């Protein structure tokens, strides 16, 4: 399937990432108000974000994926594709840390663990925002398609 033909699917996956991002942000906002319930929400949101991120990585890096198509259709963007692939490793590591800390914080509910969780989650969310923007920019450069105002 060509890169252009994949754009609707890509838009759906981008929306799923954005929804997971918003859910994690919302869950984080609940932690200080109600530690136990908020931490449970963060853990659930992080697990959901993990499933969405794994699907995103699998779908963008698989044979015949958009990354392969961009390189074929716009070879001058190969370094940007390489950078986005590399970013997947960092995103996964950051989200794994959020998942680990949230599980630990649920057991301890120590203020320091909650602060560490917030810091790790915000690092992940910031990196995801940058990644989504860079992905949209890549597709615009390759296919002159604007994926919308959401980043």
Contact 32, 38 (CB under 8 A): yes
Q: Which residue has the higher pLDDT, 111 or 87?
A: 87
The H-assigned helical ranges of the chain are: 7-31, 35-61, 66-73, 78-108, 111-143
Nearest Cα neighbor of 90 from 119, 124, 121, 61 is 124
CATH of the domain at 101: 1.20.120
**Low-confidence winner among 35-39, 58-62, 107-111, 137-141 (lowest mean pLDDT):** 107-111
Q: Looking at residues 124-145, what average pLDDT do you find?
A: 93
Query: Does 148 fall in a domain?
Result: no
Q: Which of 11-15, 93-97, 114-118 has the highest mean pLDDT?
A: 93-97
Average pLDDT, the chain: 91
Q: What pLDDT band is residue 151 in, cutting at 50, 70 and 90?
A: very low
Question: Which domain range does residue 51 map to?
Answer: 7-142
pLDDT band at 1 (very low <50, low <70, confident <90, very high): low
Token pair, residue 85, equals 């692939």
Instruction: Decide if 109 is inside a domain.
Output: yes
Is 31 part of any domain? Answer: yes
């Amino acid at each position: 399937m060509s890169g252009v033909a994949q754009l609707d699917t890509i838009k759906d996956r981008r929306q799923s990432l954005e929804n997971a991002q918003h859910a994690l942000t919302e869950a984080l906002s609940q932690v200080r108000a109600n530690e136990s319930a908020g931490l449970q929400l963060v853990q659930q949101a992080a697990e959901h974000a993990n499933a969405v991120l794994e699907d995103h990585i699998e779908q963008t890096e698989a044979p015949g994926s958009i990354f392969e198509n961009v390189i074929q259709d716009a070879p001058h963007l190969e370094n940007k594709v390489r950078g986005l692939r590399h970013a997947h490793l960092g995103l996964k590591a950051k989200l794994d840390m959020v998942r680990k800390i949230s599980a630990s914080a649920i057991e301890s509910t120590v203020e320091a663990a909650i602060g560490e969780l917030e810091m790790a989650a915000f690092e992940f969310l910031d990196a995801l925002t940058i990644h989504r923007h860079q992905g949209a920019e890549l597709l615009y450069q390759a296919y002159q398609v604007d994926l919308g105002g959401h980043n």
